[in-house]
Amino acid sequence: MAYTADVHGRIRDAVAAALRGVAETMYADGDGAFGVPAEQVYAVNKFVRTQVDLPAVVVSYEGLAEQVRGGTNREDDVAYPVFVGLYVNGPVNNETAAGGPTLTQFRDTVRGLFHNRRLAGVPEVYQCEVSPQPLVQEGLPGYEQLATSVVVTAAARVERNPTWSKT
């Protein structure tokens, strides 16, 4: 059982890896549902616009805190939110990002990958939820290029305190 300190980072990385896999397939096939090449799906701690090429999908937990939902006397059920944002160069015209997917297609693709599913590569995660975010939220990093975003919340069972003895 992993400790809570490293789970959030592994969840972020697993979400980015799953999105890279979809991006690689859909982009190569010319499917407009994703519109971003796999090498432009980034997992970052802190979003810095100059460190990514657009269009891009940015996966981050910047500004998002985990939430304890319950547990046992030795383990906690913790919800770890991860931000998934589609960033584009051009303007967003209601539903379509310039040169990219429709925003609904993008959100549906992410929801199909994660909602009510376990997260591959992170055995502590037993369920994910996907919540859409407002189209424009000025407080979000790089909001000027942000076309749309969702939050993937991964519920995981983690050991409560790593200093307890294993007796």
Q: Is 111 exposed, middle or buried (0-12, 13-18, 19+ CB in 10 A)?
A: middle
Q: What is the pLDDT along the chain (167 residues), one digit of tens a residue?
A: 445 558 999 999 999 999 998 887 776 665 555 678 888 899 998 878 778 888 889 999 887 889 999 988 889 999 999 999 988 877 665 566 555 567 888 888 899 999 999 999 999 999 999 998 776 666 666 777 888 889 999 999 998 865 554 54
Q: Is residue 95 in some structural domain? A: yes
Domain for residue 63, yes or no?
yes
- Burial of 32-60, coded b for 16+ CB within 10 Å and e otherwise, reads ebbbbbbebbbbbeebeeeebebbbbbbb
Task: State the residue for tokens 């859409």.
Answer: 132
Which domain CATH number covers 26?
A: 3.30.2000.10
The total domain count for the chain is 1
What SS3 class is residue 106? Answer: helix
User: In what helix (H) or strand (E) does residue 102 lie, and over which residues does it extend?
Assistant: none
For residue 43, tell me if it sits in a domain. Answer: yes
pLDDT of residue 165: 45
Q: What is the pLDDT of residue 50?
A: 78
- Domain of residue 65 covers 4-159
Q: Does any domain span residue 164?
A: no
